Chains A and B, each alone.
Chain A
Amino acid sequence: MTEFLQHLLNTLILGGTYALLGIGLTLIFGIMNVVNFTHGALYTVGAYVMYLAVTALGLGFFAALPTAILGGFLLGAVLDLVLLRPLRGADMDTTMLVMIGAGIVLQSGTLWLFGGVAKSIPTPFPDAPLQLGPVSVSWLRLFVLGAAVSLIVLTYGLINRTRLGLAMRATFQDHDTAALMGVNVRLVYTATFAIGSSLAAAAGALLGPVYVVFPQMGGMAELKAFAIVILGGLGSITGAAIGGFILALAEELGAGYISSGYRDAMGFLIIIAVLVFKPTGLFAKAERIG
């Protein structure tokens, strides 16, 4: 029973960051119809900006986190302006291949700059874990959960409570009509890609200190983000948030009770199962986001 409680606690903590990853990807897919193959690279970049900000710049852990998020936001904006804006209206395969190319450039660039040796990010939290009755959790992981949940709530508010969010929802429903009604659709696309990218970078910056930072870390994260988004239904933010926690639960239970080697296989088995039994995802709403 204690073991099961510990798995549930781990699920909560892992699920928060997974939800962040999934929300970023589903926003970009839902609004822009782009399968973002740079999502994993942006996750990696977030982790490395965090690492640089803490070690080389000496910014301190809590200032480094917003720096990493801002880094992801700016890189996302640049990617959209340089690569996606000229390709608006191109077929989906073309944008997918361009994004794969951009992902390779970013990932190999990171490998080139930082080398393949994994780095760890120092944190200000005490080493001794917090004991909660029979289960224990490290302070760092608690902070990661809190930060992830805050970012999810912020994104939710941005989409449902602000003018930009309204424009994003309108563009999602029908971008031609939105443009006719005076929505600056080009700006909405750039903002969407930048916000989605910043969420991926945030997930990397939060999980970087928990594990280690290395150039290939984004590959698996990206595939997991795909799994989460398919589980939740492409374009559904609530679906992505719940999907993040479901994937984390499947991984924790799979690793705990089946075999730790197959932890990473859970996401793919979920994808295959969802597409066989309910291809629209569990929470898909075809006509709106939020």
Chain B
Amino acid sequence: MTRHLPALALLAALVALPLALGNEPYLLNALITTGIVTIAAMSLNLLLGFTGQLSLGHIAFFGIGAYVSALTSLGFDIEIVGGLRVVHAPWPAAVGFLLAVLVTAACGYLVGRLSFRVRGAYFVIVTISFAEVVRLVALNWVELTQGPLALTGIPPFTLGLPGLGTTVLRTKLQNYYLVLVVGTLCYALIARLVGSRFGRAMRGLKENESLALSVGIDATRTLTLAAVISAAMAGAAGSLYAHYLRIIDPDVFLFSTTVTMVIMVVGGGKGTLLGPIVGGLIFGLLPVALRPVMVPEAQWMVFGLVLIVIQFVMPRGIVPGLARLFAWRRAPAPVPLPVEVRS
């Protein structure tokens, strides 16, 4: 239990936070969007941190989740080639959420099968290309997505509890707790996965792929499964985003959001459970702190500089840095780092 103590303390703090803030809409909005991007960063960490594959197309799953969820709950009427007409009547937002998770999981499977044939630089570039193709489709398939005009009027989530009737989650406070619940579930799922046999297979592949293969780990299967789970989680975050903002346009696919997620993961500590959350809170709320003193362009310059400086000063991230500091205080003899075997 002590293992999960920092996470539980953080959860308690996040539950209490809105009470301390006194329902301030601007800050609450920043916290909700930060929370949503943090969930996406947690999903990215599963690939980048635990399997060591730098996926720079992660925003595609987030965006697909947002569009699938929005279109499911808005309905659409399109004509596919050959005069075939597809009409879909609006369904509840919760069904949109489920479909978003399923569709992005399927996309994760396809992209995984395709892109895990290559490694390193090639893998990075394939993932970026995938995200750009999806963005261009969202921009150009105007009949379905409204293109740059954006999908508007997306309904908010409704929560139906037996005996309590249904509640429409319209207020920021309700959405905050919804994001917190989904985030906690994602955290628990990742923690469970990482501790399992599958988690050890992932880390084995990251540390030494040839060695992992030689002891019988199926690289493509393990990596694809990681990609499926990661994509589904990013899709869930996208769905939350769509039903919270209630408007989405092709800008949800911007590469800069992927960069933000990467900064959150790498800054917080890739390959750690708490890293993306700590990084997410810091780098998600940094713009709020910087807003009074500088224009957005300058904020982005700060983000870029932070990304550079982290690589030079703290390549393992904030959480491992702090963990080592505490371990060093408690026990005078520092734990020797595991020897990395490189092929």
Contacts and interface: CB of A to CB of B under 8 A. Distances in A.
Interface stretch (A103-111, A164-172, A174-182, A202-210): A103-111
Contacts of A107: 300
Interface stretch (B82-90, B119-127, B324-332): B119-127
Interface in B111-165: 114-115, 117-118, 120-122, 124-126, 128-130, 132-133, 136-137, 139-140
B70 interface: no
Contacts of A261: 136, 139-140
Given A104-B259, A223-B128, A269-B133, A98 B120 contact: no
Interface string A4-27: 000000000000000000000000
B129 to A, nearest CB: 4
Interface string B312-330: 1001000000000000000
B34 to A, nearest CB: 19
B16 interface: no
B226 interface: no
Interface residues of B, number: 40
A227 interface: yes
Contacts of A279: 117-118, 122
Contacts of A104: 256, 259, 300-301, 303-304, 307
A272 B126 CA distance: 6
B311 A98 contact: yes
Contacts of A98: 307-308, 311-312
B60 to A, nearest CB: 11
Contact of B54 (A96, A234, A271, A275): A96
B240 interface: no
A271 B308 contact: no
Interface centre among B121, B256, B300, B315 (most CB of A within 10 A): B121
Contacts of A146: none
Contact of B129 (A86, A100, A272): A272
Nearest to A29: B121
Contacts of B187: none
Contact of B117 (A83, A112, A234, A275): A275
A70 interface: no
B295 interface: yes
Contacts of A230: 122, 125
A105 B137 CA distance: 29
B30 interface: no
A171 to B, nearest CB: 18
A272 B130 contact: yes
A210 B39 CA distance: 43
A130 interface: no
Interface string A263-288: 01101110110011001000000000
Contact of B304 (A92, A103, A219, A275): A103
Contacts of A100: 259, 262, 304, 307
Contact of A35 (B124, B266, B312): B124
Interface string B266-303: 10000000000000000000000000000101101101
A259 interface: yes
B305 interface: yes
Nearest to A270: B129
A268 B54 CA distance: 18
A3 B262 CA distance: 45
Contact of A102 (B115, B300, B304, B315): B304
B255 interface: yes
Nearest to A215: B297
Contact of A265 (B52, B132, B256, B301): B132
B121 A101 contact: no
A275 B121 CA distance: 12
B269 to A, nearest CB: 14
A43 B80 CA distance: 39
Interface string B243-278: 000000000000110010010001000000000000
Contacts of B303: 101, 104
Given A101-B307, A105-B305, A261-B139, A275 B126 contact: yes
Contact of B307 (A97, A112, A234, A272): A97
Interface in B191-221: none
Contacts of A96: 54, 121, 124
Contacts of A93: 52, 54
Interface string A97-133: 1101111110111011000000000000000000000
21 contacts: A93-B52, A96-B124, A97-B262, A101-B303, A104-B256, A104-B300, A104-B301, A104-B304, A104-B307, A105-B301, A108-B298, A108-B300, A112-B297, A112-B298, A226-B128, A261-B136, A261-B139, A268-B136, A269-B133, A272-B133, A279-B122
Interface of A: 29, 35, 83, 86-87, 90, 92-94, 96-98, 100-105, 107-109, 111-112, 219, 223, 226-227, 230, 234, 259, 261-262, 264-265, 267-269, 271-272, 275-276, 279
Interface of B: 52, 54, 114-115, 117-118, 120-122, 124-126, 128-130, 132-133, 136-137, 139-140, 255-256, 259, 262, 266, 295, 297-298, 300-301, 303-308, 311-312, 315
Given A35-B124, A100-B307, A264-B136, 11 more contacts: A86-B312, A87-B311, A87-B312, A92-B120, A93-B52, A96-B121, A98-B308, A103-B304, A227-B129, A265-B132, A275-B117
3 cross-chain pairs, A with B, having the tightest CB-CB distances, nearest first:
A104-B304, A101-B307, A261-B140
